[in-house]
């Protein structure tokens, strides 16, 4: 069901807290772990915090409200968030009225939710990722009823429109178009913590894009755990072509796609809107062995995956491709790993994000018995990344001497000279000197290439 913050109690609680906080000069700080969806969610959290009258602070120190937006994808992300939380114990001692909230994917895992409740007494509230619109209510409960408050297992699969948003950038914006995942890849915690797939209505998405473009946003990234399985009144390729048809000077990106939903229609739409859809595709492979892909429940073969790569390159010449790979999935033999390396050699990705398999409680793979030793996992990841570095380096060499359009993100002064950083349409990071202008497009001639970035001067 699509709900609006005005129909929910969100708006009511925002104004209640606002009255309580009014004139007290209270500060908030949001800490974000994990993926772009979490970044986008944190922009909503900031939106609510500022609507409630809290002032932004660049650090958690001295704040009255600290919200940690967590990630559960790998054990490492969880450990980082939990050790970070430890620092707030002392803050709470200094300021007993401090409100600490833990939200996002970790707060939706039963064993973590229990731990936060039991062992982290200075955590005032928790909320799973799809219930963030209830943060104002949680804060009200903590502040006025002096009760710790926890939201767990209450996600009913609704979509909430109309959340206030404070965006990090003014030239780039995230637009979430779908939430959740139905794929249940056997290693992945996401479907358990973010629930079933739900897509926003196309009119709401188009309206948000229209507003962003007229506010001067140059790059819109459509987000979804499984972005290309978007389906409301229209499907994802249709949505892309309708956004591409909007008036203005902007580029569309999207992530993360699943190979199974990368249809010929989607590839065709990318080919016919090259002026508006970025020549970039993130297509997670995970493994190049059909046996492992099947155990991962990925529902495609290496052959089907490679045929998508071929079609993308044919439809969008010069397209930049990236992928995710997991090494050391249970049962992965040396032969299976070699199969992965072989697919990487054939596909020649511009960029590979390699991960060591991390066991997630509650997933199917957690029960698989044939675990791979840690030392083997690390050794495989090192080998993979070393091989990929050479591929990435040679994929960037043809850029030498070419002039690329770059959207400028930032600059820093080095020896009195401004060195700008931005991204080419392909998404490649570009560092350059010359006449840059922050948040605008400039043309840069590439003079040096590395495995990860390009270096040049404006023309």
Nearest alpha carbon to residue 243 among 281, 282, 212, 197: 212
**What are the structure tokens assigned to 19, written together?**
């009255």
Query: Restricting to residues 184-203, which ones interact with ligand 5AD according to CB under 6 A?
Result: 187-188
Is 36 a binding residue for ligand 5AD by CB under 6 A? The answer is no
Do 229 and 197 touch, CB atoms closer than 8 A? yes
- Could you tell which of ligand 5AD, ligand SF4, none binds residue 326, using a CB distance below 5 to 8 A set by kind? ligand 5AD
- Interface with ligand SF4 by CB under 6 A: which range of 182-190, 274-282, 308-316, 445-453? 182-190
Do 40 and 169 touch, CB atoms closer than 8 A? no
Is 360 a binding residue for ligand 5AD by CB under 6 A? The answer is yes
Q: Are strands 172-176 and 219-223 parallel, antiparallel or unpaired?
A: parallel
Query: Restricting to residues 253-272, which ones interact with ligand SF4 according to CB under 6 A?
Result: 258
Is 324 a binding residue for ligand 5AD by CB under 6 A? The answer is yes
Rounded distance, CA 48 to CA 65, Å? 12
Among 136, 191, 259, 284, binds ligand 5AD (CB under 6 A): 284
Q: How far is the CB of 143 from ligand SF4 (least distance, A)?
A: 35
For 146, 174, 290, 358, the CA distances from 198, given in Å and listed in that order, are 35, 17, 29, 27
Rounded distance, CA 134 to CA 127, Å? 8
For residue 427, the 8-state DSSP code is -
Is 226 a binding residue for ligand SF4 by CB under 6 A? The answer is yes
Is 133 a binding residue for ligand 5AD by CB under 6 A? The answer is no
Nearest alpha carbon to residue 199 among 239, 243, 252, 172: 239
Is 185 a binding residue for ligand SF4 by CB under 6 A? The answer is yes
Do 8 and 131 touch, CB atoms closer than 8 A? no
Helical H runs in 54-125?
75-94, 110-119
- Could you tell which of ligand SF4, ligand 5AD, none binds residue 183, using a CB distance below 5 to 8 A set by kind? ligand SF4
Query: Cα dihedral angle (420, 426, 427, 428), rounded to 10 degrees?
Result: -60
User: Could you give the 3-state DSSP secondary structure of residue 84?
Assistant: helix
The CA-based angle 428-358-363, given to 5 degrees, is 115
Among 82, 326, 347, 351, binds ligand 5AD (CB under 6 A): 326
Among 54, 357, 399, 432, binds ligand 5AD (CB under 6 A): 357
Rounded distance, CA 441 to CA 457, Å? 13
- Interface with ligand 5AD by CB under 6 A: which range of 17-25, 63-71, 353-361, 412-420? 353-361
Residue nearest to ligand 5AD (CB): 324
Q: Residue 5 or residue 323: which is nearer to ligand SF4 going by CB?
A: 323
Is 190 a binding residue for ligand SF4 by CB under 6 A? The answer is yes
Q: Residue 381 or residue 430: which is nearer to ligand 5AD going by CB?
A: 381
Q: How far is the CB of 39 from ligand SF4 (least distance, A)?
A: 16
Among 65, 72, 73, 163, binds ligand 5AD (CB under 6 A): 73
Binding site residues, ligand 5AD, CB under 6 A: 73-74, 187-188, 284, 286, 324, 326, 355, 357-358, 360
């Amino acid at each position: 069901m699509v709900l609006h913050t005005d129909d929910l109690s969100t708006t009511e609680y925002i104004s209640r807290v606002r009255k309580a906080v009014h004139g007290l000069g209270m500060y908030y700080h949001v800490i974000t772990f994990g993926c772009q969806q979490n970044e986008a969610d944190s922009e909503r959290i900031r939106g609510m915090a500022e609507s409630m009258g809290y002032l932004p602070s660049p650090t958690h120190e001295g704040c009255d409200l600290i919200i940690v937006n967590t990630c559960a994808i790998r054990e490492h992300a969880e450990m980082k968030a939990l050790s970070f939380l430890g620092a707030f114990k002392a803050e709470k001692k200094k300021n007993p009225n401090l409100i600490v909230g833990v939200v996002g994917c970790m707060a939706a895992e039963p064993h973590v939710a229990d731990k936060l409740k039991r062992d982290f007494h200075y955590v005032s509230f928790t909320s799973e990722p799809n219930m963030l619109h209830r943060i104002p209510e949680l804060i009200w409960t903590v502040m006025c009823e002096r009760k710790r408050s926890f939201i767990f297992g209450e996600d009913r699969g609704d979509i909430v429109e109309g959340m206030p948003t404070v965006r990090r950038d003014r030239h780039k914006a995230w637009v979430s178009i779908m939430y959740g995942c139905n794929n249940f890849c056997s290693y992945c915690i996401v479907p358990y913590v973010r629930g079933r797939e739900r897509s926003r209505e196309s009119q709401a998405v188009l309206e948000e894009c229209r507003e962003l473009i007229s506010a001067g946003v140059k790059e819109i990234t459509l987000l979804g755990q499984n972005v290309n399985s978007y389906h409301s009144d229209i499907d994802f390729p249709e949505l892309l072509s309708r956004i591409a048809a909007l008036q203005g000077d902007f580029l569309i990106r999207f992530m993360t796609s699943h190979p199974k939903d990368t249809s010929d229609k989607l590839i065709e739409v990318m080919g016919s809107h090259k002026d508006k859809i970025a020549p970039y595709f993130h297509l997670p492979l995970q493994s190049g062995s059909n046996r492992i892909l099947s155990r991962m429940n990925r529902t495609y073969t290496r052959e089907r995956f490679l045929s998508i790569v071929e079609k993308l390159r044919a439809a969008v010449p010069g397209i930049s491709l990236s992928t995710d790979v997991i090494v050391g999935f249970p049962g992965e033999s040396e032969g299976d790993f070699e199969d992965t390396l072989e697919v990487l050699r054939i596909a020649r990705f511009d960029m590979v994000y390699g991960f060591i398999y991390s066991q997630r409680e509650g997933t199917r793979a957690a029960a698989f018995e044939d675990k791979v030793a840690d030392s083997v996992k690390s050794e495989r990841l090192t080998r993979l990344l070393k091989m990929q570095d050479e591929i990435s380096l040679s994929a960037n060499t043809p850029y030498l001497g070419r002039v690329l359009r770059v959207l400028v993100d930032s600059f820093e002064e080095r020896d009195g000279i401004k060195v700008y950083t931005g991204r080419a349409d392909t998404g490649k990071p570009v560092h350059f000197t010359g006449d840059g202008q922050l948040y605008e497009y400039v043309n840069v001639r590439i003079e040096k290439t590395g495995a990860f970035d390009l270096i040049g001067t404006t023309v």
